[in-house]
Structure 1
Amino acid sequence: MVMFRVKIKIAEWKLILLLSLFMSIVPNLAFWKNIYSLIPDASMSNLYFYFAMLIFTVCILNILLTLVLWKNTFIIPILLLLLSASFGYFSLSFNIYVDLHMLLNIMETNTGEAIALMTPYMIIWIVLVGILPSIFLLKITLIKRSLGTLLKIRIFIITSSIAVLLISSMPIYNYYASFFRNNNQIIKQLTPSNYIVAGVKYLNMRFERPVPYKQIGLDAKQIKPQNTEITHKPKLMIFVLGETSRAQNFSLNGYEKLTNPKLAVIENLINFEQASSCATATAISVPCMFSNLTREHYNPKIAKSEDNVLDILSRVGVSILWRENDEGCKGVCDNVLNEQIIHFTPESECPLGLCYDEHLLSNIEDFINKQTQDTLIVLHTNGSHGPSYYQRYPPSFPGQFKPACETNQIQSCDKESLINTYDNTILYVDTVLDKTIDLLLKQNRFVTSMLYLSDHGESLGENGLYLHAAPYMIAPKEQTHIPFMFWFSDSWVEQEQLDLACWQQMAKNRTVSHDNLFHSLLGLFRVQTEVLNQALDLSHTCLKS
Structure 2
Amino acid sequence: MTSASPTAHPPARPARHPLWLSGALALWLATLGNLPLWRALWALPDLAGWRGGLFIAGTALFIAAALWLVLAPLSWPRLTKPLALLCLATAASSSHFMLAYGVVIDPGMMTNTLQTDLREVRDLLSPSLLWTFTWGLLLPGVWLLRQPVARLPWPRQLQHNLLALGAALLVAGGLLVLGFQDLAPLMRNHKSLRYMVNPFNAAWSTSRALAGPATLAPLQPLGTDAHPSNPRAPAPLLVLVLGETARAANFALGGYPRDTNPELSRLAQEGDLTYFSQVTSCGTSTQASVPCMFSHLGREAFVGSQDRFENLLDVLQHAGLAVLWVDNQSGCKGVCDRVPSVDTRALNLPGLCPDGACFDEVMLHGLDERIAALDPVKRARGVVVVLHQMGSHGPAYFKRTPAALKHFTPECDTNALQKCERQAVVNAYDNSIRYTDHVLAQTVTWLKQHAQPSAMVYVSDHGESLGENNLYLHGLPYAMAPETQKHVPMVTWVSPALRQTRGWVHDCLASQAKQPLSHDHLFHSLLGLADVETQVRSDARNLFAHCGAH
Paired-residue identity, %: 33
Q: Name the CA shift for 1:42/1:369 in 2 (closer, same or farther; >3 Å).
A: closer
**Of the candidates 191, 196, 214, which is equivalent to residue 189 of structure 1?**
196
| Equivalent residue, structure 1, for 2:243 | 242
**Of the candidates 400, 419, 422, which is equivalent to residue 415 of structure 1?**
422
What's the CA shift for 1:8?
A: 5.5
Q: Distance in 2 between matches of 1:506 and 1:90?
A: 39
Is 1:278–2:278 an aligned residue pair?
no
What's the CA shift for 1:537?
A: 1.4
Q: Name the CA shift for 1:465/1:292 in 2 (closer, same or farther; >3 Å).
A: same
| Equivalent residue, structure 2, for 1:464 | 470
Q: Distance in 2 between matches of 1:75 and 1:162?
A: 24
Is 1:534–2:539 an aligned residue pair?
yes
Q: Distance in 2 between matches of 1:167 and 1:539?
A: 61
Q: Name the CA shift for 1:338/1:18 in 2 (closer, same or farther; >3 Å).
A: same
Q: Distance in 2 between matches of 1:301 and 1:380?
A: 26
2:348, 2:356 within 8 Å by CA — same for their partners in 1? no
Written as runs of structure 1 = structure 2, the 5 A alignment for 1:5-16 is 9-16=15-22
Is 1:326–2:332 an aligned residue pair?
no
1:239, 1:452 within 8 Å by CA — same for their partners in 2? yes
2:238, 2:530 within 8 Å by CA — same for their partners in 1? no
Is 1:397–2:405 an aligned residue pair?
yes
Q: Distance in 2 between matches of 1:97 and 1:280?
A: 12
Q: Name the CA shift for 1:417/1:30 in 2 (closer, same or farther; >3 Å).
A: same
| Equivalent residue, structure 2, for 1:211 | 217
The one-letter code of the counterpart of 2:30 is S
| Equivalent residue, structure 2, for 1:228 | none
SS of 1:450's equivalent in the other structure is strand
| Equivalent residue, structure 1, for 2:5 | none
1:279, 1:456 within 8 Å by CA — same for their partners in 2? yes
What's the CA shift for 1:206?
A: 2.8
The one-letter code of the counterpart of 1:386 is G
SS of 1:443's equivalent in the other structure is coil
2:100, 2:416 within 8 Å by CA — same for their partners in 1? no
Stretch deviating more after TM superposition (323-332 or 10-19): 10-19
SS of 1:349's equivalent in the other structure is coil
The one-letter code of the counterpart of 1:519 is H
The one-letter code of the counterpart of 2:238 is M
Stretch deviating more after TM superposition (472-481 or 31-40): 31-40
Written as runs of structure 1 = structure 2, the 5 A alignment for 1:25-174 is 25-40=31-46, 42-73=48-79, 74-174=81-181
Q: Name the CA shift for 1:8/1:527 in 2 (closer, same or farther; >3 Å).
A: farther
What's the CA shift for 1:544?
A: 6.3
What's the CA shift for 1:319?
A: 1.1
1:8, 1:139 within 8 Å by CA — same for their partners in 2? no
What's the CA shift for 1:264?
A: 0.8
Stretch deviating more after TM superposition (104-113 or 264-273): 264-273
| Equivalent residue, structure 1, for 2:528 | 523
Q: Distance in 2 between matches of 1:207 and 1:337?
A: 25
Stretch deviating more after TM superposition (460-469 or 156-165): 156-165
SS of 2:144's equivalent in the other structure is helix
SS of 1:431's equivalent in the other structure is helix
Q: Distance in 1 between matches of 2:96 and 2:214?
A: 29
| Equivalent residue, structure 1, for 2:3 | none
| Equivalent residue, structure 2, for 1:429 | 436
SS of 1:485's equivalent in the other structure is strand
**Of the candidates 460, 484, 487, which is equivalent to residue 481 of structure 1?**
487
The one-letter code of the counterpart of 1:535 is A
Alignment RMSD, CA only? 2.2
Is 1:179–2:186 an aligned residue pair?
yes
Compute the TM-score of the two structures, normalised by the length of structure 2.
0.92
Stretch deviating more after TM superposition (325-334 or 38-47): 38-47
The one-letter code of the counterpart of 2:297 is L
What's the CA shift for 1:220?
A: 1.4
Q: Distance in 2 between matches of 1:393 and 1:435?
A: 15
Stretch deviating more after TM superposition (134-143 or 172-181): 134-143
The one-letter code of the counterpart of 1:517 is L
Q: Name the CA shift for 1:42/1:299 in 2 (closer, same or farther; >3 Å).
A: closer
Q: Deviations over 1:124-173 (max 9, x none)?
A: 21133113323332222223434444334333323332333344343332
Q: Distance in 2 between matches of 1:91 and 1:394?
A: 30
The one-letter code of the counterpart of 2:429 is Y
The one-letter code of the counterpart of 1:340 is D
Q: Deviations over 1:451-492 (max 9, x none)?
A: 001111111111111111111111111111111111111111
Stretch deviating more after TM superposition (335-344 or 309-318): 335-344
2:398, 2:428 within 8 Å by CA — same for their partners in 1? yes
Q: Deviations over 1:69-127 (max 9, x none)?
A: 21242222221111111111111111111111111101111100001100111022113
The one-letter code of the counterpart of 2:70 is L
What's the CA shift for 1:198?
A: 1.2
Q: Distance in 2 between matches of 1:291 and 1:319?
A: 19
Unmatched segments (≥5 aa) in structure 1? 226-230
Q: Name the CA shift for 1:541/1:221 in 2 (closer, same or farther; >3 Å).
A: same
| Equivalent residue, structure 2, for 1:309 | 312
Q: Distance in 1 between matches of 2:163 and 2:434?
A: 63
Q: Distance in 1 between matches of 2:415 and 2:426?
A: 13
Q: Distance in 2 between matches of 1:302 and 1:341?
A: 33
Q: Distance in 1 between matches of 2:432 and 2:309?
A: 35
1:215, 1:307 within 8 Å by CA — same for their partners in 2? yes
Q: Distance in 2 between matches of 1:367 and 1:516?
A: 28
Written as runs of structure 1 = structure 2, the 5 A alignment for 1:354-365 is 354-365=357-368
Is 1:543–2:544 an aligned residue pair?
no
The one-letter code of the counterpart of 1:394 is P
Q: Distance in 1 between matches of 2:337 and 2:47?
A: 54
SS of 1:404's equivalent in the other structure is coil
The one-letter code of the counterpart of 1:376 is V
What's the CA shift for 1:38?
A: 1.3
SS of 1:245's equivalent in the other structure is coil
